[in-house]
Amino acid sequence: MPKLRCYSIELETPPCLQSIRWDSGSTVGEFDGHSRRVLSCAFKPTRPYRIVTCGEDFLVNFYEGPPFKFKLSQREHTNFVNCVRFSPDGTKFITVGSDKKGILYEGKTGEKIGELSSQGGHQGSIYAVSWSPDSKRVLTVSADKTAKVWEISEDGYGNVIKTLSCPGSGGVDDMLVGCLWQNDQLVTVSLGGVINVFSASDLDKDPLALSGHIKNVSSLSILKSNQNMVLSCSYDGVIVKWIRGVGYSGKLNMKNHAPIKCFAAVENEIILSGFDNKVWKAPLEGGECGVAEHVDVGNQPKDLSVALNTPEIVLVATDTGAVLLNGLKILSSINLGFTVTASAISPDGSEAILGGQDGKVRIYSISGDTLTEEAVLEKHRGAITVIRYSPDVSMFASGDANREAAVWDRSTREVKLNNMLYHTARINCLAWSPDNTMVATGSLDTCVIIYELDKPASARRTIKGAHQGGVYGLAFTDERSIVSSGEDGCVRLWTITP
């Protein structure tokens, strides 16, 4: 008969499930019997077919079919029943719950046949369970931050044969909430989004850790000395180190820095700011963060830029003006009389470019702690969102909230590339190629557009749907590779083909 697929449908009262044929969409049973939210369901993979559900009412409900009808209800748990899974051979199923118990049942009748032993068991809620392919073992994960492998006897009782500890700081984020036994791999997932992969054939082997961001990745930075290392930061304060060709390479641990709004990295230092009016600096030693220090700039930073040749000089844009920093010392805090929305400082620290809410780009010379206005450039028709100097500092590029970008000649202050108007929403970020020949822009419209300066803007290259929800970070790793990040929590590497 056709295979069945179960869909969870949340209703007001009472909670209910429906079983629907995949080929016709017709229902083959309704699963009532729960008085509170259903947390998990499982389908018996062998004939005769059965379905089991469990939930917050401490119940395990058993249904026969098709068409599926309620058969019996078990109340062996004394707290939420978080997960239920049939064994691959269909002879048993197991439920685990917040009462720290695992209970085994006969797969055909739904009658209880045994339990997981309390000796060596979990000390916290058990959130998930998964069977081995041969139906002889199970993997469980818990709020106690451990995973356990259990041997299941023929009579339905389980004993711990190995406790797996996942590396972590020991905080709430290290609680394990999901697991999967796939062939020779045991996979666990923590509340903080870290995936650990163990070897089922060698349980003593250290796990492979996979991780990343779970929030909007708002900024990217690449160190000059190591073009293969990418640093990314997300709104929730997580900074991740990626190695090209390897992938995830660890998180940089900084305290008291969430959430992050502005982020920059130079050779031996990370500079960032959040919503607390503070700018933080932390040394970067061997790919790890040292002790962070901060300075209060008095206003919420909107953007920050580092003078690459003299990285102790930092320009911080605020609502009302700009703040110049030398290390953690405030050189000056200047009210410029307009709302600043974007900023850039030249590598030698002699010039600053500030973009405003009014769409104007203003150029200032820097002498000591003084900013002197040199020019006002008017082309944009929306608030300036990003400004970046070219690597050779002969040009700079700007983008605005009205979806337009512009490339400017620094000496003549004239537009060098016109009609960069191909996004359909606000431009969030831009980046220059190392050889100064290309500019890439990322937008709220989910696209990345790459322009070549020796060609008209219409000869652009577009990466459609680069990041769902919008592109927020861009950086070139070399002349033909670009890294992007976005609202979807992903960091992606693209190759630009000739």
Reported as a single tens digit per residue, the pLDDT across 296-309 is: 998 889 999 999 99
Q: Which residues contact 335 (CB under 8 A, 6 or more apart)?
A: 320, 321
DSSP per residue over 283-338, as a string? EEETTEE---EEEE-SS--SEEEE-TTSTTEEEEE-SSEEEEEETTEEEEEEE-SS
**Per-residue pLDDT for 1 more than 60?**
no
**87-101, 280-294, 315-329: least confident range:** 280-294
* Spatial strand order in the sheet of 208-210: 176-182, 185-190, 195-199, 208-210
Q: Which pLDDT does position 166 carry in this prediction?
A: 84
Q: What share of the chain is helix, strand, coil (3-state, %, to 5)?
A: 0, 55, 45
Cβ(17)–Cβ(38) under 8 Å? yes
The DSSP call for residue 122 is: -
**According to the model, what pLDDT value does residue 8 have?**
39
DSSP characters over 19-86: EEETTT--EEEEE---SS-EEEEEE-SSSSPEEEEEETTS-EEEEETTTBEEEEEE---SS-EEEEEE
On the 0-12 / 13-18 / 19+ scale of CB atoms within 10 A, 326 is: middle
Tens of pLDDT, residues 132-188: 999 999 999 999 999 999 999 998 999 999 999 888 767 898 999 999 999 999 999
User: What pLDDT score does 198 carry?
Assistant: 97
Those residues whose C-beta lies under 8 Å from the C-beta of residue 154, and which sit 6 or more positions away, are none
* Lowest mean per-residue pLDDT among 233-247, 360-374, 397-411: 233-247
The whole-chain average pLDDT of the chain stands at: 91
Q: What is the pLDDT of residue 275?
A: 84
What are φ and ψ of residue 172, in 5° steps? -60, -35
Of residues 10 and 252, more confidently modeled: 252
When comparing pLDDT for 53 and 31, which is higher? 53
Domains delineated in the chain: 4-210 (2.130.10.10), 217-495 (2.130.10.10)
Predicted confidence at residue 236, as pLDDT, reads 84
Q: Average pLDDT, stretch 198-220? A: 92
Look at residue 4 in the predicted model and tell me its pLDDT. 38
Confidence of residue 30 (pLDDT cuts 50, 70, 90): confident
- Asked if 404 and 422 touch (Cβ cutoff 8 Å), the reply is no
Per-residue confidence band for 336, with pLDDT thresholds at 50, 70 and 90: very high
Query: What size, in residues, is the chain?
Result: 498
